Amino acid sequence: MRFLPSQENMETKTIKDESKDTQTTERISGSEAIIKCLLAEGVDILYGYPGGAIMPVYDELYKYQDQIHHVLTRHEQGATHAAQGYARISGKVGVAIATSGPGATNLITGIADAQIDSTPMVCITGQVGSHLLGSDAFQETDIVGISTPVTKWNHQITKASEIPEVFAKAFYIAKSGRPGPVLIDITKDAQFETFDFTYEKCKGVRSYKPVPDTNEDTLKAAADLINNAKKPLIVWGQGVILGQAEEEFKAVIEKAGIPSAWTILGASAIPTSHPLNVGMVGMHGNYAPNVLTNECDVLIAIGMRFDDRVTGNLATYAKQAKIVHFEIDPAEVDKNVQTDVAVLGDAKASLKALLPLLNKNSHTKWHQQFKDLYQIEFEKVIKNDLHPVKDGLTMGEVLKEINSQTKGEAAIVSDVGQHQMIACRYADFNVSKSNITSGGLGTMGFALPAALGAKMAAPEREVIMIAGDGGYQMTIQELGTIFQQNIPVKIVVLNNEFLGMVRQWQQLFFDKRYASTEMVNPDFVAIAKGYHIEAKKVTERKDLKSAVKEMVDCKGPYFLEVRVEKEDNVFPMIPTGASVSDIRLE
């Protein structure tokens, strides 16, 4: 939609790097230019699926296959989740590529997921020739229009000469500030067209300020509130990880002695075993940090966005507390929770500047309250989850076994549902960027392709995927990709033959009317074996340990199905609309 007369739009936005005086120009096609842009941005792997409108780019990928590795997923959605897994474990920009029409629309779920979970990703889609735009041509779809609300930025290229600048800008926008997904749509004629190619990395965009300035007065005000607090509580989110602020964060909480709880995406920024780590907040989080949210006198939120799954009923959320919010995205401040002090800026820089302003403290009595409530949660919930006495296997004991055999060094890639909550609650994380899960969007089917991407980005790490029998089947075809690429991902399906989380809600809030939640499942082991992936099924407790050992020891990909209790529930739980302090233990 061009709604203003001026045609000169690209030139004004990107600041040129004047320091580069020598630039080589070469006359190449748009599609070759795309590959060169990707190489210039350090892309080593991309995930995608070919088709008519993107074929010129695939032809170049063939020529450049010694420099850039294209992974053929089995569905474009898988390509986006793989790119997300790649980005989440490495901090680098994930790249997905697809053709026009259905190829492009299949990317949308992954793009929306990356948008809400702030994952840096660049998606490239082919488009019909520019002369066909708007003609309802074969496989034409308005992907720029469709993706607008779920992208940080998007752009359609119709001329090859736009490619270098748009790609440079795309990578810059995707990874700077609060990261997010960017989509570039390229018409087929622009892929064929030749032009004089030069590449300069983007150094800034006039209308875009990735990191807001930090006001020193707000830092002082924050330090003042923290220093005078009797019962301070920190809730941190993914901002600590995205801002690479783990060390600064640890230094702050250790100096000020503040109990610190995490949102699902903040998990692993400091080790699970850290004495100041008091667990997860939110709907299925830990008892102590949820209850004490409504008792603390200062709540310090760091790189988190007060999602409704974290806050429960806002009208009764931490009303007694002063709220301090460290945040990179000004639009998040006062969005859900009114703050008393907002410290804008990058977490790493802000926390570094905060540290010398803080008094040393230990808050021993306050810590004891967390310990006491943990004991209650342990007796009512954790004991039964991790040390069950009943016959059926629990999801928790599978996690406990994985913890013990990986020593908390594994990256856990979880899907969405009961197993996800159990994985996040019980997995031991020793290393940052180890909890890869779909938090904001809650995308079932995320885990298998995301685990593939994560393992490819960090081959030195143990990557264990954990999914339920429902979500696993949403992207089960990516077993084909894992097989073809021979990626040693460890795949664990916790099978309760139900869409467990929905069933739990039906049990608790819909009088056990189990509408369409019972699954009749195939032979998962046979399916894995069909892809030549080693596979095993465990139905009894006595076999769990040896099966997990076999999985961890396996050099290639491995599939492990564990039949767990059919109707177990995840507790604690804050029912929708309830207050965080009304969290239920049973």
Partner 1 sequence: MENEIKQFTVSVYTENNIGLLNRISAIFQRRHINIESLNTSLSEIEGVSRFTIVVNVTESQMKKIQGQIEKQVEVIKAYYHTEEETIYQESCLFKIKSDLLFDERQIQNIIKESNARIVTVNKDFFVLEKSGRREELELLYRELSVFGIMQFTRSGRVAVTKDEMKISTMLKAFQH
In angstroms, what is the minimal distance from the CB of 17 to partner 1? 14
145 touching partner 1, by CB under 8 A: yes
Q: Which is it for strands 322-327 and 153-157: parallel, antiparallel or unpaired?
A: unpaired
E strand intervals along 345-472? 411-414, 435-437, 463-468
Distances (CA, A) of 263 to 234, 355, 527: 11, 22, 35
Nearer to partner 1, 72 or 146 (CB): 146
E strand intervals along 73-172? 94-98, 121-127, 153-157
| Sole binder of partner 1 in the list 100, 156, 437, 579 (CB under 8 A) | 156
| Sole binder of partner 1 in the list 32, 60, 329, 561 (CB under 8 A) | 329
Query: What are the backbone dihedrals phi and psi of residue 120, each rounded to the nearest 5 degrees, phi first?
Result: -70, 120
Please tell me the distance from the alpha carbon of residue 528 to that of residue 467, in angstroms, as a whole number. 14
Tokens 């808050």 map to which residue?
363
Q: Which is it for strands 260-262 and 558-563: parallel, antiparallel or unpaired?
A: unpaired
Name the one range near partner 1 by CB under 8 A: 147-155, 272-280, 386-394, 571-579.
147-155
Please name which of 344, 392, 316, 383 lies closest in space to residue 582, comparing C-alpha atoms. 316
Which SS3 state, helix, strand or coil, does residue 76 take?
Answer: helix
Q: Print the binding letters for residues 183-222 with partner 1: x by CB under 8 A, - otherwise.
A: ---------------------xxxxx--------------
Please tell me the distance from the alpha carbon of residue 330 to that of residue 345, in angstroms, as a whole number. 9
In angstroms, what is the minimal distance from the CB of 145 to partner 1? 6
Q: Is 139 assigned a catalytic role?
A: yes
Which SS3 state, helix, strand or coil, does residue 490 take?
Answer: strand
Q: Is 378 assigned a catalytic role?
A: no
21: which 2 tokens? 């005086």
Name the one range near partner 1 by CB under 8 A: 98-106, 149-157, 376-384, 459-467.
149-157
Please tell me the distance from the alpha carbon of residue 80 to that of residue 23, in angstroms, as a whole number. 33
| Sole binder of partner 1 in the list 12, 320, 368, 486 (CB under 8 A) | 12
| Sole binder of partner 1 in the list 331, 389, 515, 520 (CB under 8 A) | 331
Q: Is 326 assigned a catalytic role?
A: no
Please tell me the distance from the alpha carbon of residue 301 to that of residue 323, in angstroms, as a whole number. 7
Name the one range near partner 1 by CB under 8 A: 281-289, 332-340, 342-350, 510-518.
332-340
Nearer to partner 1, 2 or 27 (CB): 2
Distances (CA, A) of 545 to 405, 408, 493, 550: 9, 16, 15, 9
Give the Cβ contact number of residue 446 at 10 Å.
34
| Interface with partner 1 in residues 285-324 (CB under 8 A) | none
Of the listed 175, 188, 322, 537, which one is catalytic?
Answer: 188
Nearer to partner 1, 153 or 171 (CB): 153
CA R_g for the chain:
25
Of the listed 474, 501, 551, 573, which one is catalytic?
Answer: 501
13 touching partner 1, by CB under 8 A: yes
Nearer to partner 1, 264 or 328 (CB): 328
Please tell me the distance from the alpha carbon of residue 576 to that of residue 283, in angstroms, as a whole number. 8
Number of residues that bind partner 1 (CB under 8 A): 30
In angstroms, what is the minimal distance from the CB of 196 to partner 1? 24
Q: Is 138 assigned a catalytic role?
A: yes
Name the one range near partner 1 by CB under 8 A: 6-14, 112-120, 250-258, 449-457.
6-14
| Sole binder of partner 1 in the list 69, 159, 335, 352 (CB under 8 A) | 335
Report yes or no: 547 and 560 within 8 Å, Cβ to Cβ. Answer: yes
In angstroms, what is the minimal distance from the CB of 576 to partner 1? 21
Nearer to partner 1, 204 or 488 (CB): 204
Question: Which residues, other chains included, contact 145 with Cβ-Cβ below 8 Å and sequence gap of 6+?
Answer: none
Nearer to partner 1, 190 or 411 (CB): 190
Q: Is 512 assigned a catalytic role?
A: no
- Write out 8-29 in H/E/C secondary structure: CCCCCCECCCCCCCCCCCEEEE
| Sole binder of partner 1 in the list 2, 27, 360, 365 (CB under 8 A) | 2
**Which residues are tagged catalytic?**
76, 138-139, 188, 501
Binding positions for partner 1, rule: CB under 8 A:
1-4, 6, 8-9, 12-13, 144-145, 148-149, 152-156, 173, 204-208, 329-331, 333-335
